[in-house]
Amino acid sequence: MGKRSALRWLRWAARSARRQWARRSLSVQFAIVTSTILVLGMLSIGHWVTSRISEGVVHGNAVAAAMYTDSFVAAQVQELSAQPTLRPETREALDALLLPQVIGKPIVGFRIWKGDTIVYSDRQELVGRSFPPSPLREQSWRGKVTADYGNLGDEESAPIRAADEPILEIYAPIRETGSNRIIALAEAYEITPTLPQELASARIGSWMVVGAVTFAMLGLQIVIVGKGSRTITEQRASLRDRIADLSRALAENDTLRQRANDANMRVAEMNERYLRQIGADLHDGPVQLLGMAVLRLDSLSDIVLGAEKSIVEEAGEDIGVLRDALGDSLHEIRNISSGLAPPEIEGLTLQSTLQMAARRHERRTGNPVLRDIAELPAQVPLSLKTCLYRFAQEGLTNAFRHANSNGQAIAARCSGDQIEVHVSDTGPGLGNKCALSEGRGQGLIGLRDRVESLGGEFLIDSKPGAGTRLTVRFRLPRANSEALSHV
């Protein structure tokens, strides 16, 4: 298997392990993690405890043997406090003391050290020889009884290793009588037939205690986490149910809001149609009748001019007043009619409708309007088209009135399913005039209500000396936005 194949296999194995892990419940994940941690901790603690217990058992046997040996040997070797070797008679006395029937202990080797030199041994060939320092001897020279079981690796222990017996190597300091000064070390090799069983029993007991405590802790944690996991699972299920209920409620709210927006658009469209009908009725009814009255009045004026001078003077003034009144009424009714009925925009595109609003404003006021109208959806609801026409008309009218005809501009963009139209100027800013409702229509407040009733957003950005910017945003119905995406 190549290196790349091995890496791919490792990645696949890691992904598979993560998927398998994610499928397991919280309690199972916790049980696996805690079991691993506790088992590793149990092995570490168990090893440490058994090693300490084993050392304690060995040290206990060593101390007992050292005390037993010291009671026989210390009094015989006090001369080492003043000289480096033992006298021959002292060595003979030690030989007699260390006979098995005298000491009563299974000692298979005994030595006395002065520094790193053996000054007495049960094997005469070792007396007078020096050996490298060992850790056990160095600790014993510092006043400790030291021992080692089953590790006779020193050169001076070679003769003892030949015995196929469990042997305990013991070092005990020998102190000067009357002081605490260490003058020599006693080294003994003792056969301990029961020590392996004692060590095994101590290790088994310690492992059983550590294992029992570990598994008790693990079981308790699994029980606690199992209860917590069940609680969390129940809470998750309850939360999922609540989220599902909330999602359904939000979906219903969206549906109701869409229905309300559609209803508002239909009502606005019906209202615009109704206003156009009223405007048409005013134009076709009272306007025509008043126009006819003015014409008949002109005819009557011609007849009166042929009468006597006194009658002409008397009636001429009344006819003039009547003509002025009829003319003013006709003008007002025409204005009301044109305000109620916007131009025929039903057959125009939205882009053409906004262009027409700018042109009509230029024709009416004589002031140019900067236009930046991008490509817009061709098909939008009539209510939305009418609302944007009214917005452009009212915004430009307000800019003309309050901005001293400075820098009037209209811009329109469509991004995704959102249409955004701006009307701006570079005048002194609205200040408190943003709440005005003068002129035709209902002013900015009425315009804002009209926009928001169709689900749009109406914004006014005006700072003193920095002009005014009116913005309206609409989100297109889904059918229009999908049609736009295919253009």
| Tens-place pLDDT, residues 242-299 | 998 888 888 888 877 777 776 666 666 666 666 666 666 665 566 566 666 666 666 6
At residue 128, the pLDDT reads 86
In DSSP terms, 167 is beta-bridged to 191
In the structure encoding, which two tokens stand for residue 33, read together? 């993690």
pLDDT tops 60 at residue 102: no
Average model confidence (pLDDT) for the chain? 75
For 290, residues 6+ apart whose C-beta sits below 8 A from its C-beta are 326, 329, 330, 333
- Residue 313 pLDDT: 55
Site of tokens 């009223």: 278
* Contact (Cβ atoms closer than 8 angstroms) between residue 44 and residue 139: no
Q: Kindly report the length of the chain.
A: 487
Round to whole Å and give the CA distance between 209 and 49.
Answer: 10
User: What is d(CA 9, CA 14) in angstroms, rounded to the nearest whole number?
Assistant: 9
| pLDDT of 482 | 45
Neighbour-count burial for 314-324, b at 16+ CB within 10 Å, e otherwise: ebeeebeebbe
The whole-angstrom separation of Cα 257 and Cα 196 is 87
Q: In terms of pLDDT, which residue wins out, 156 or 241?
A: 241
b or e along 133-153 (b: 16 or more beta carbons within 10 Å of the residue's beta carbon)?
A: ebebbeebbeeebbbbbeebe
Span 181-208, mean pLDDT? 77
Q: What backbone phi and psi angles, to 5 degrees, belong to 168?
A: -110, 120
Give residue 472's pLDDT: 93
Cα separation of 204 and 308, whole Å? 149
CA–CA distance, 466 with 408 (Å, rounded to integer): 13
**Confidence bin at 433 (pLDDT 50/70/90):** very low
Q: Are 297 and 258 in contact (CB under 8 A)?
A: no
Output b/e per residue, 351-389; b: 16+ Cβ within 10 A: bebbbbbbebbeeebebebebebeebbeebbebbbbbbb
Q: What is the pLDDT of residue 101?
A: 46
- Reduce the secondary structure of the chain to three states and give it as a string: CCHHHHHHHHHHHHHHHHHHHHHCCHHHHHHHHHHHHHHHHHHHHHHHHHHHHHHHHHHHHHHHHHHHHHHHHHHHHHHHHCCCCCCHHHHHHHHHHCCHHHHCCCEEEEEEEECCEEEEECCHHHCCCECCCCHHHHHHHCCCCEEEECCCCCHHHHHHHCCCCCEEEEEEEEECCCCCCEEEEEEEEEECCCHHHHHHHHHHHHHHHHHHHHHHHHHHHHHHHHHHHHHHHHHHHHHHHHHHHHHHHHHHHHHHHHHHHHHHHHHHHHHHHHHHHHHHHHHHHHHHHHHHHHHHHHHHHHHHHCCCHHHHHHHHHHHHHHHHHHHHHHHHHHHHHHHHCCCCCCCCCHHHHHHHHHHHHHHHHCCCCEEEECCCCCCCCHHHHHHHHHHHHHHHHHHHHHCCCCCCEEEEEEECCEEEEEEEECCCCCHHHHHCCCCCCCHHHHHHHHHHHCCCEEEEEECCCCCEEEEEEEECCHHHHHHHHCC
Q: Which two tokens stand for residue 170?
A: 């013991």
Residue 213 predicted with pLDDT over 90 = no
161 has pLDDT over 60? no
The pLDDT of residue 41 is: 77
- How far is residue 482's CA from residue 211's CA, in Å, rounded to a whole number? 69
* Closest CA relative to residue 392, chosen from 313, 471, 325: 471
Lowest mean pLDDT among 222-226, 303-307, 325-329, 462-466: 303-307
pLDDT at 112 exceeding the cut of 80: yes
Res. 443 pLDDT band, cuts 50 70 90: low
